[in-house]
Structure 1
Protein backbone atom coordinates (compact mmCIF):
# COMPACT_ATOMS: atom_id res chain seq x y z
CA UNK A 1 0.00 0.00 0.00
CA UNK A 2 2.82 2.41 0.88
CA UNK A 3 4.52 1.66 -2.46
CA UNK A 4 1.29 2.37 -4.34
CA UNK A 5 0.81 5.67 -2.48
CA UNK A 6 4.41 6.64 -3.15
CA UNK A 7 4.08 5.83 -6.85
CA UNK A 8 0.85 7.84 -7.13
CA UNK A 9 2.48 10.79 -5.38
CA UNK A 10 5.50 10.65 -7.71
CA UNK A 11 3.27 10.54 -10.80
CA UNK A 12 1.16 13.45 -9.55
CA UNK A 13 4.28 15.52 -8.88
CA UNK A 14 5.71 14.75 -12.32
CA UNK A 15 2.48 15.73 -14.07
CA UNK A 16 2.03 19.03 -12.22
CA UNK A 17 5.60 20.25 -11.89
CA UNK A 18 6.00 21.61 -15.43
CA UNK A 19 7.22 25.17 -15.91
CA UNK A 20 3.76 26.47 -16.75
CA UNK A 21 1.73 24.34 -14.33
CA UNK A 22 1.73 26.39 -11.15
CA UNK A 23 -1.22 25.73 -8.88
CA UNK A 24 -3.41 28.66 -8.03
CA UNK A 25 -2.32 30.77 -10.99
CA UNK A 26 -4.68 32.15 -13.58
CA UNK A 27 -4.15 31.48 -17.27
CA UNK A 28 -2.90 35.06 -17.70
CA UNK A 29 -0.41 34.64 -14.85
CA UNK A 30 0.97 31.51 -16.52
CA UNK A 31 1.11 33.48 -19.77
CA UNK A 32 3.38 36.04 -18.11
CA UNK A 33 5.94 33.27 -17.63
CA UNK A 34 5.74 32.42 -21.36
CA UNK A 35 6.09 36.12 -22.23
CA UNK A 36 9.14 36.44 -20.00
CA UNK A 37 10.76 33.35 -21.51
CA UNK A 38 10.10 34.00 -25.21
CA UNK A 39 9.01 37.59 -25.82
CA UNK A 40 10.42 40.07 -23.33
CA UNK A 41 13.86 40.32 -24.96
CA UNK A 42 12.28 41.95 -28.03
CA UNK A 43 8.95 43.21 -26.69
CA UNK A 44 9.73 44.31 -23.13
CA UNK A 45 9.00 47.76 -21.75
CA UNK A 46 11.77 50.34 -21.99
CA UNK A 47 14.78 50.98 -24.19
CA UNK A 48 16.79 48.17 -25.70
CA UNK A 49 13.85 46.11 -26.91
CA UNK A 50 13.89 46.15 -30.73
CA UNK A 51 10.30 44.92 -31.20
CA UNK A 52 8.95 47.58 -28.85
CA UNK A 53 11.05 50.28 -30.52
CA UNK A 54 9.84 49.22 -33.98
CA UNK A 55 6.21 49.30 -32.85
CA UNK A 56 6.71 52.68 -31.13
CA UNK A 57 8.01 54.01 -34.44
CA UNK A 58 5.21 52.39 -36.42
CA UNK A 59 2.36 53.63 -34.21
CA UNK A 60 3.79 57.10 -33.43
CA UNK A 61 2.01 57.27 -30.06
CA UNK A 62 -1.40 56.13 -31.32
CA UNK A 63 -0.80 52.73 -29.68
CA UNK A 64 1.92 51.75 -27.23
CA UNK A 65 4.80 49.78 -28.68
CA UNK A 66 5.08 47.60 -25.57
CA UNK A 67 2.75 44.65 -26.00
CA UNK A 68 2.08 44.44 -22.26
CA UNK A 69 0.56 47.93 -22.36
CA UNK A 70 -1.75 47.33 -25.30
CA UNK A 71 -5.52 47.25 -24.84
CA UNK A 72 -6.44 46.04 -28.33
CA UNK A 73 -4.83 42.59 -28.47
CA UNK A 74 -6.95 39.45 -28.68
CA UNK A 75 -5.79 35.88 -28.09
CA UNK A 76 -6.45 35.15 -31.78
CA UNK A 77 -4.18 37.93 -33.08
CA UNK A 78 -1.43 36.94 -30.64
CA UNK A 79 -1.64 33.34 -31.87
CA UNK A 80 -1.51 34.47 -35.49
CA UNK A 81 1.59 36.63 -35.00
CA UNK A 82 3.38 33.97 -32.96
CA UNK A 83 2.67 31.12 -35.38
CA UNK A 84 3.16 33.11 -38.61
CA UNK A 85 5.57 35.88 -37.63
CA UNK A 86 5.28 39.40 -39.02
CA UNK A 87 7.84 41.71 -40.60
CA UNK A 88 11.19 40.73 -39.05
CA UNK A 89 9.58 38.81 -36.17
CA UNK A 90 10.11 35.09 -36.74
CA UNK A 91 7.37 32.49 -36.39
CA UNK A 92 7.50 30.05 -33.49
CA UNK A 93 6.87 26.34 -33.92
CA UNK A 94 4.74 24.21 -31.61
CA UNK A 95 7.96 22.56 -30.47
CA UNK A 96 9.12 25.95 -29.20
CA UNK A 97 5.88 27.39 -27.81
CA UNK A 98 3.22 24.72 -27.35
CA UNK A 99 -0.43 25.36 -28.14
CA UNK A 100 -1.20 25.35 -24.40
CA UNK A 101 1.55 27.89 -23.72
CA UNK A 102 0.31 29.99 -26.62
CA UNK A 103 -3.18 29.98 -25.12
CA UNK A 104 -1.80 31.34 -21.86
CA UNK A 105 0.30 33.94 -23.72
CA UNK A 106 -2.82 35.10 -25.56
CA UNK A 107 -4.67 35.34 -22.24
CA UNK A 108 -1.83 37.40 -20.75
CA UNK A 109 -1.46 39.84 -23.65
CA UNK A 110 -5.23 40.31 -24.03
CA UNK A 111 -5.87 40.83 -20.31
CA UNK A 112 -6.17 44.63 -20.79
CA UNK A 113 -8.58 44.32 -23.71
CA UNK A 114 -12.08 45.32 -22.53
CA UNK A 115 -13.59 43.40 -25.52
Structure 2
Protein backbone atom coordinates (compact mmCIF):
# COMPACT_ATOMS: atom_id res chain seq x y z
CA UNK A 1 0.00 0.00 0.00
CA UNK A 2 2.78 2.43 0.93
CA UNK A 3 4.65 1.68 -2.31
CA UNK A 4 1.48 2.39 -4.30
CA UNK A 5 0.96 5.73 -2.52
CA UNK A 6 4.58 6.70 -3.14
CA UNK A 7 4.24 5.73 -6.79
CA UNK A 8 1.07 7.79 -7.22
CA UNK A 9 2.64 10.71 -5.34
CA UNK A 10 5.76 10.54 -7.50
CA UNK A 11 3.66 10.48 -10.69
CA UNK A 12 1.60 13.45 -9.49
CA UNK A 13 4.73 15.43 -8.62
CA UNK A 14 6.22 14.65 -12.05
CA UNK A 15 3.02 15.78 -13.77
CA UNK A 16 2.94 19.00 -11.74
CA UNK A 17 6.62 19.67 -12.46
CA UNK A 18 6.18 19.08 -16.18
CA UNK A 19 3.23 21.48 -16.31
CA UNK A 20 0.74 18.79 -17.36
CA UNK A 21 -1.32 19.35 -14.22
CA UNK A 22 -1.68 22.62 -12.30
CA UNK A 23 -2.40 23.04 -8.63
CA UNK A 24 -5.99 22.13 -7.91
CA UNK A 25 -5.83 19.31 -10.45
CA UNK A 26 -6.30 21.46 -13.56
CA UNK A 27 -4.79 20.21 -16.80
CA UNK A 28 -2.77 22.67 -18.88
CA UNK A 29 -5.72 23.20 -21.25
CA UNK A 30 -8.10 23.78 -18.33
CA UNK A 31 -5.66 26.30 -16.85
CA UNK A 32 -5.42 27.97 -20.26
CA UNK A 33 -9.19 28.24 -20.41
CA UNK A 34 -9.16 29.88 -16.97
CA UNK A 35 -6.52 32.37 -18.16
CA UNK A 36 -8.66 33.08 -21.25
CA UNK A 37 -11.70 33.68 -19.04
CA UNK A 38 -9.74 36.02 -16.78
CA UNK A 39 -7.84 38.08 -19.35
CA UNK A 40 -9.22 37.58 -22.85
CA UNK A 41 -12.94 36.84 -22.91
CA UNK A 42 -14.06 40.44 -22.39
CA UNK A 43 -12.66 41.35 -25.82
CA UNK A 44 -12.41 37.97 -27.55
CA UNK A 45 -15.49 36.11 -26.30
CA UNK A 46 -18.09 34.52 -28.54
CA UNK A 47 -21.10 36.61 -29.51
CA UNK A 48 -21.93 40.30 -29.76
CA UNK A 49 -20.35 42.84 -27.45
CA UNK A 50 -16.77 41.58 -27.78
CA UNK A 51 -14.77 44.22 -29.65
CA UNK A 52 -11.80 41.97 -30.46
CA UNK A 53 -14.05 39.30 -31.94
CA UNK A 54 -16.00 41.89 -33.91
CA UNK A 55 -12.79 43.42 -35.28
CA UNK A 56 -11.51 40.01 -36.36
CA UNK A 57 -14.89 39.16 -37.94
CA UNK A 58 -14.57 42.35 -40.03
CA UNK A 59 -10.94 41.62 -40.89
CA UNK A 60 -11.45 38.01 -41.97
CA UNK A 61 -14.86 38.46 -43.66
CA UNK A 62 -15.84 34.85 -42.92
CA UNK A 63 -12.53 33.32 -44.08
CA UNK A 64 -11.68 32.62 -40.41
CA UNK A 65 -13.80 32.88 -37.28
CA UNK A 66 -13.35 36.07 -35.31
CA UNK A 67 -13.81 34.21 -32.03
CA UNK A 68 -10.42 32.87 -30.95
CA UNK A 69 -11.98 29.83 -29.27
CA UNK A 70 -13.41 28.75 -32.65
CA UNK A 71 -10.10 29.03 -34.53
CA UNK A 72 -8.19 25.97 -35.69
CA UNK A 73 -5.10 27.76 -37.01
CA UNK A 74 -3.67 29.19 -33.79
CA UNK A 75 -0.37 27.92 -32.43
CA UNK A 76 1.16 28.56 -29.01
CA UNK A 77 3.84 30.64 -30.73
CA UNK A 78 1.30 32.92 -32.43
CA UNK A 79 -0.63 33.34 -29.18
CA UNK A 80 2.61 34.20 -27.33
CA UNK A 81 3.61 36.79 -29.94
CA UNK A 82 0.24 38.58 -29.88
CA UNK A 83 -0.07 38.51 -26.08
CA UNK A 84 3.47 39.72 -25.39
CA UNK A 85 3.63 42.29 -28.22
CA UNK A 86 0.01 43.31 -28.77
CA UNK A 87 -1.37 44.02 -32.24
CA UNK A 88 -3.39 46.93 -33.58
CA UNK A 89 -5.43 48.21 -30.61
CA UNK A 90 -4.84 45.06 -28.53
CA UNK A 91 -2.41 45.91 -25.74
CA UNK A 92 0.55 43.75 -24.81
CA UNK A 93 0.52 41.86 -21.52
CA UNK A 94 3.55 41.79 -19.22
CA UNK A 95 4.83 38.75 -17.34
CA UNK A 96 3.52 40.24 -14.10
CA UNK A 97 0.02 40.14 -15.61
CA UNK A 98 0.14 36.82 -17.48
CA UNK A 99 3.10 34.70 -16.42
CA UNK A 100 5.07 32.64 -18.95
CA UNK A 101 3.52 29.46 -17.53
CA UNK A 102 0.02 30.93 -17.83
CA UNK A 103 0.80 32.07 -21.36
CA UNK A 104 1.97 28.56 -22.26
CA UNK A 105 -1.32 27.21 -20.88
CA UNK A 106 -3.28 29.83 -22.84
CA UNK A 107 -1.44 28.83 -26.01
CA UNK A 108 -2.28 25.16 -25.33
CA UNK A 109 -5.92 26.05 -24.82
CA UNK A 110 -6.28 28.17 -27.96
CA UNK A 111 -4.34 25.72 -30.14
CA UNK A 112 -6.15 22.60 -28.87
CA UNK A 113 -8.20 22.41 -32.08
CA UNK A 114 -5.22 22.97 -34.36
CA UNK A 115 -4.63 19.74 -36.31
CA UNK A 116 -0.95 20.68 -36.91
TM-score (norm 2): 0.80
Counterparts of 1:44 and 1:80 in 2: how far apart (Å)? 19
2:112 alignment partner in structure 1? 111
Decide whether the 8 Å contact of 1:21 with 1:30 is kept in 2. Answer: no
Q: Which runs of 5+ in 1 are unaligned?
A: 1-15
- State the Cα deviation string for residues 46-79 of structure 1 (Å, max 9, x = none): 0000000000000000000000000000000000
Classify the secondary structure of the residue corresponding to 2:53. helix
- CA deviation after TM superposition for structure 1 residue 22, in Å: 2.3
Decide whether the 8 Å contact of 1:52 with 1:67 is kept in 2. Answer: yes
1:57 alignment partner in structure 2? 58
Match of residue 22, structure 1, among 18, 24, 35: 24
For 1:1-115, list aligned pairs within 5 A. 21-23=23-25, 25-115=26-116
- CA deviation after TM superposition for structure 1 residue 96, in Å: 0.2
Moved over 4 A (4+): none
2:9 alignment partner in structure 1? none
- CA deviation after TM superposition for structure 1 residue 21, in Å: 2.5
Counterparts of 1:21 and 1:64 in 2: how far apart (Å)? 32
Counterparts of 2:47 and 2:57 in 1: how far apart (Å)? 11
- State the Cα deviation string for residues 84-105 of structure 1 (Å, max 9, x = none): 0000000000000000000000
Higher helix fraction (1 or 2) = 2
Counterparts of 2:23 and 2:100 in 1: how far apart (Å)? 14
1:8 alignment partner in structure 2? none
Aligned residues: 96
1:9 alignment partner in structure 2? none
